[in-house]
Amino acid sequence: MIAMIAKRFASAIPSLIGVIIVTFVISHTLPGDPAAYFAGPSATAESIAETRARLGLDQPLPIQFLTYVGDLVQGDMGRSFNSGQPVLTDLARRLPASFELTLYALVFAIVVAVPLGLWAAVNPGSWIDHLCRGTVTAAAAFPSFFTALVLIFVFYYKLGWAPSPIGRLAIYFPIPPSVTGFLTIDAVLAGDLATARAALGQLILPAISLGLFALAPLARMTRASMIGVLGSDFITTARAEGLPRRTVLWTYGFRNALLPVVNILGMIFSFLLGANVLIEQVFGWPGIGSYAVEAVLTSDYAAIQGFVVMMAVLYILLNLGVDILNMIVDPRVRYDD
Amino acid sequence: MTTPPLLDVRNLTVDFATRDGTVHAVENVSFQLARGETMGLVGESGSGKSVSAFAVMRLLGKSANVRAERIDVGGHDLLTASEAAVDALRGKRMTIIFQNARSALNPIRPIGQQIVDVLRTHRGMIGKDARKAAVAALAEVRIPDPERRYHAYPFELSGGMCQRVMIALAFASEPELLIADEPTTGLDVTTQAVIMDLIREKSSQRRMSTILITHDLTLAAEYCDRFAVMHAGHIVEQGTTSDIFERAAHPYTGLLMQATPHGASRLEDLAAIPGTLPDLRRDLPPCRFVHRCPRAAPVCAAALPRRALDASHEVSCHMPWKESA
Amino acid sequence: MTEQINVPPLPSEPSRLVNFWRGLVYAMRSNPLTAFAMVLFLLFVIAALFGEAIAPYGPLTTSSNTLQPPSWAHPFGTDQLGRDVLSRTIVAARVDFGIALAAVGISFVLGLWLGAAAGYFGGWTDRIVGRMVDTIMAFPLFVLAMGIVAALGNTVWNIVYATAIINLPFYIRFARAEVNSRRDAGFVEAARLSGNSAARILSVHLIPNILPPMMVQVSLNLGWAILNAAGLSFIGLGVRPPTPEWGIMVSEGANYIFSGEWWVFFFPGFALVLAVFCFNLLGDGLRDMIDPKGRT
C-alpha cells in the first residue's frame, strides 16, 4: 500500500515538470518588457538595462529556466508588485480562506448530489428521475458568478437572511487565533460560538454558489453509475439469491456505484478551483482566487505566476489524494500490478 | 403425473418495449419440471431461453411485459406474488447460476462475505457460524485452501474458480430449483466437465430440480433427463433425451440433430439450417420457423397446434417429421 | 421452397434515412426538452445574426433614463448609462456565440487531427500528444485559461485561444480513442494495403467515421465554452466595456444589487444560462439519437 502510494507520487512528477515548463513559458512570453515594467515609469534606458540584468532577463532562456526552477525549489516565487510581500507569503496567508470555502462547497455538493443521483437511479423514469435530470441540467447551465449574484439579491437584499456578503467575517467579530486557518473551526476551538456562527453564516451563500456548480457532474455520475451497477450481473445474482432489498441496494449497489464517483472527484476539484476565482471575486472573499484576479488585472506577473503554479501543484496533490482514496475503496486498484 | 411438478409454467408470454417497437421475446411457453429432474432448455442465442428463466425468477425489468396462465414453484404462485413474497422465495426456493461467474459476483466484496450474506438471509446464520459455514461451502465445491480464499476478491480467481464460488453461493441457501444459465460457456473443456459434475452431484444429493440452459447439445445430452427446444420464443418440441435425440419430430429439431452427428458441436456452428432467427419485433407468422422450414406448407399459416406424440413427447408443428403412433 | 406457401413475406429492413428520422422523433418525443432546446437555439442564432436589426434600441445608445426598472418601453429595464438592457442582451449573443464557436471550432479541428494522428501512428506521436494533454489537464482549467489570457494579453482573440486550449484535451482524447479502436479494422487494413497514404486513410476512412460522436462532444462543449468565456470577461479579461457581452454586463450589473436594481445583472445572466442550457440539452438529445445506450 505504502509502495503504491509512493508510486503514485512518482507518477505525478512528469505532470509537475509539465506545469513548471508551461508556467515558465507563459511568464516569459508576456507581451511588453518586464524589465521596463519593474524599473518603473520614470526609468531610463540604463536603469531598464540594469533591472534586466538584476532580474536575469539578459541571460539565455535555458539559464533563465534553471534560475526559475532553482528559485521555485527554494520557495521563492518572487515579490508581488501590489502587496510588496513575497508571493509565497501572500498565497500562504490567503490559502486557508479558499480551502475552507472549497471544502464547504464540496460537502454541500456531495450531500445534495449523491442522494439525488441515487434516488433517481433507483426509480428510473419516475418524476424524481426527471427532477434529477432537470436539476442537473439546470445546475450545469448556471455560471457560478450568476448564481452567486442571484443568491445575494434574494437572501441578502430581499429577505435579509444572509449577512452582508463581504469577506469571511463581519468586522465586529474577533478573529479567532489561527490553528487550522478555517475560521469556523478555529472559532469553535477558541470556544467562541458566536464567531463560529457568524463565520458559518458568511460561508453559506458562497459555498452554495460554488457547490451548485459541482452538483451537476456529481449527480449525473452518481445516477449513471448506480444505474449501470443496478443493471449488472452481480446485482441480478444478489436479487436471485433473495438478499434483502436493502443489502442489494446499499452493500452491493451503492458501494460499487461510488467507485466512479470517487474517480471524478479530480475533475470536480478542477471545476471548484476554477469557479473559486469567480466566487471569491463576487463575495470579496480574501482567498487566493481574488488575489489572482487582482494580480491579473494589474499585471502583477510574479503573483499570477505564483498563483498558477500553486493551483497546479494543489490540483496535482488533490488528484493524488483521489487516487489514494480510490485505492482504499476499490480492491482491484489496490492490487493492481 | 402422480406428484405435482416442482415447477409449473403455463403459457408464459414475454414482450419487451423498446424504442424500435415491441419485441415478442417469448410466446405461450409451457413446461413442467418434476422434483430431482434435470431439464435442458436449448436453442440458438436469442431464442428466449434466458428470458423464460428470468421470467420464472421474476428478474426481468420494467420494460418486460410478462403474462402467463400460471407460474408455480413448489406450490407457490409466482405470478401474483408481491415483490416481497418473491424476494422471500428467491434464493430459498429457487436460484440461478450465470454464464459469466466473474461478473456475477460482487467485485469489491470478498467471496466468503458474499456467501455469508446468503447464509444470513436464508438460514439466519451470523458471526462465526456463518463464517464457518461459508468456508465449508467453499470446501464443498472443492476450492483449495478455502480458509484463505474466503477473503479473496473475484478478480483474484480464475473463471472456473469463480463458477465454483457461484455454485457454492447458489447451494448455500439449499434451494429446490436451480436454473443454470450457460454455466460452462467460456470455460475450457476440462473445467466444463468438472463444473457440470459438481452441479449434478450437488443437485442429486439434495433432490433438486435443475434447468440447464445451454446451446451445447452434446453437453446437455449427457446431463439432462428431458429437453425443451426453443426457437424464436417458442418451445417447438419437448421430450425425454431419447425422444429428442432419436425421434425428433419438429423440423427444426430434426435439422439440429442431422447437423449434429451425435457428439458434435454447438448450435452456433451450424450452418446447415438456412436463414436466421426472424426479427422478433415484427408481426410474426403463427409458426416462427416457417421461413426457414424445409417442410413448410400452406397449412403452416394456421394457428400452431400442440401435439402430444406420447406421454413425454410434445411438438408444436403442423408438419412434423413423424406422426404420433 | 417457400414461394408456393401462403405466408406473408418478411418486410425489408427500413432504410437509414427512416432510421434516422425515427431516432429523431424518438429523441424528441422521449425528451420534449430537446425540441424546446432546438427552438431556443434557433432564437439565439437569429439574435446573433440579426441582433442589431431586431434590438429596439442601439446597444450603445445612452440616455438620461438611467437604471429604470423593466417597463413596456424597456422590458429588461435600463442600465447605469440609460442603455436598454434588452437591446444589449440581444446584441451580446453575437459576441458570446462568436467566441464560443471560434474556440470550439479551433479545438475541434486541432484536437481531431492531433488525436487522430496519435491514435493512428501510436509510438512517439502518441507519447508527445499524450504528454501535452496531461500537462494541460494538470491545471485547473479555468485557472489555466486565466494564466494564458494574462500572458498573451487582454484581448478577445486571446480569450478564444485560451478557451480553445483548455478544451483541446477532450477532443484529443476522444479522437485518439476512436481512431485507435478502428486502426486495425478491415476497411482500414484494405485501404492501407491498396497503397493509400496515412493522411488519406485518416481523412477519407477514419475521420468521417468518428464525426457523429464528435458532434455530440461539440454540442456539450459549446455550453462549457460560453461559460468559460463569460467567466473570463466577468473578472475583466478579454472583452472590454462598453461592448455588450453577457459576462461583462453581469459584472457591471453586480454593482447595483445592493441598491436593488436587479435587472441590470439578471437579464444578461439569464440569457447566458439559457444559452448554456440550450447547448447542454441539444448535446443530450444528440447523444440519445446517436447512441441511445450511452444515455446518463
> Could you give the percent of chain A with pLDDT greater than 70?
94
| CB atoms closer than 10 angstroms to residue A113 | 28
* Beta partners for residue B29, in sequence order: B12
CB contact under 8 A, C231 and A26: no
Q: How confident is the model at residue C239 (pLDDT cuts 50, 70, 90)?
A: confident
Q: What angle do CA B234, B238, B244 make, to 5 degrees?
A: 120
Q: Which residues contact C254 (CB under 8 A, 6 or more apart)?
A: A149, A282, C265
Q: How confident is the model at residue C20 (pLDDT cuts 50, 70, 90)?
A: low
Tell me, what's the pLDDT at B211? 93
CB contact under 8 A, C10 and B20: no
Assign B89 to helix, strand or coil: helix
Torsion sign, CA atoms C112, C118, C119, C120: positive
**Res A190 pLDDT > 60:** yes
Tell me, what's the pLDDT at A187? 85
| C284 has a chain A CB within 8 A of its CB | yes
| CB atoms closer than 10 angstroms to residue A307 | 30
Torsion sign, CA atoms B143, B149, B153, B158: negative
| B282 has a chain C CB within 8 A of its CB | yes
Tell me, what's the pLDDT at C198? 81
Residue of A15, A293, A299 with shortest CB distance to C235 = A293
- Chain B, nearest residue to C27 by Cα: B19
How would DSSP label each residue in B309-323? SSSS-EE--SS-SS-
- Of B48, B46, B44, B45, the residue nearest B9 (C-alpha): B48
Q: What is the DSSP letter of B67?
A: E
Residue of A138, A153, A295 with shortest CB distance to C257 = A153
Tell me, what's the pLDDT at B183? 86
Assign A19 to helix, strand or coil: helix
CB contact under 8 A, C277 and A312: no
- Of B32, B26, B41, B35, the residue nearest B72 (C-alpha): B32
Q: Which residues contact B261 (CB under 8 A, 6 or more apart)?
A: none
**Res A182 pLDDT > 50:** yes
Q: How confident is the model at residue C17 (pLDDT cuts 50, 70, 90)?
A: low
Rounded to whole angstroms, the Cα distance separating B319 from B305 reads 10
* A98 or A136, greater pLDDT: A98
Pairs of CB atoms within 8 A across A/B: 86
Q: How confident is the model at residue C296 (pLDDT cuts 50, 70, 90)?
A: very low
**Per-residue confidence in pLDDT tens, chain B, 325 aa:** 457 888 999 999 999 887 777 888 898 899 999 988 999 998 888 888 889 988 988 888 778 888 889 888 888 888 888 888 888 888 888 888 888 888 899 999 999 999 999 999 888 888 899 999 999 999 988 889 999 999 999 999 988 889 889 989 988 888 899 999 888 887 888 888 888 888 888 888 888 899 999 888 888 888 899 999 998 888 999 999 888 888 888 888 888 777 665 544 555 555 456 677 777 877 788 888 888 888 888 888 888 888 888 888 888 888 887 654 3
Q: How confident is the model at residue C18 (pLDDT cuts 50, 70, 90)?
A: low
Between the CA of residue C57 and those of C18, C91, C242, what are the distances in Å?
46, 10, 15
The CATH fold of domain A87-329:
MetI-like fold (1.10.3720)
Residue-averaged pLDDT of chain C: 82
**Res A207 pLDDT > 90:** yes
* B322 or C118, greater pLDDT: C118
Q: Which of residues 115-174 of C touch A (CB under 8 A)?
A: 131, 134-135, 138-144, 146-153
Average pLDDT rounded to a whole number, residues C207-211: 81
| CB atoms closer than 10 angstroms to residue B15 | 18
Rounded to whole angstroms, the Cα distance separating B66 from B75 reads 20
Q: How confident is the model at residue A336 (pLDDT cuts 50, 70, 90)?
A: low
Q: How many CA atoms lie within 13 A of C221 on its CB side?
A: 27
Q: How confident is the model at residue C8 (pLDDT cuts 50, 70, 90)?
A: very low
How would DSSP label each residue in B214-248? ES-HHHHHHH-SEEEEEETTEEEEEEEHHHHHHS-
| CB atoms closer than 10 angstroms to residue C292 | 15
Residues in C closer than 8 angstroms to B278, CB to CB, are 10
CB contact under 8 A, B296 and C10: no
CB contact under 8 A, A241 and B88: no
Residues in B closer than 8 angstroms to A233, CB to CB, are 98, 100, 103-104
Residues in C closer than 8 angstroms to B279, CB to CB, are 10
Taking the CA of residue B280 and the nearest CA in chain C, the distance in Å comes to 11
Residue-averaged pLDDT of chain A: 84
Query: For chain A, which residues make up each domain, given as ranges?
Result: 87-329
Task: Identify the top-confidence range among A176-185, A319-328, B264-273, C97-106.
Answer: C97-106
Q: Where on the phi/psi map is residue A84: left (φ > 0), alpha (ψ -120 to 50), or beta?
A: left
Tell me, what's the pLDDT at A150? 93
The length of chain A, given as a count of residues: 337
Q: What is the DSSP letter of C13?
A: P
| A336 has a chain B CB within 8 A of its CB | no
Grid coordinates of A154: 434574494
Neighbours of chain A (3+ CB pairs under 8 A): B, C
User: What is the pTM for the complete model shown?
Assistant: 0.81
* C28 or A202, greater pLDDT: A202
Burial B255-277 (b: 16+ CB within 10 A, else e): bbbebbeeeeeebeebeebeeeb
Where do we find the cell 440447464? Answer: B212
Encode pLDDT of A36-65 as tens digits. 666 666 777 787 787 777 777 777 778 888
* Beta partners for residue B228, in sequence order: B41, B238
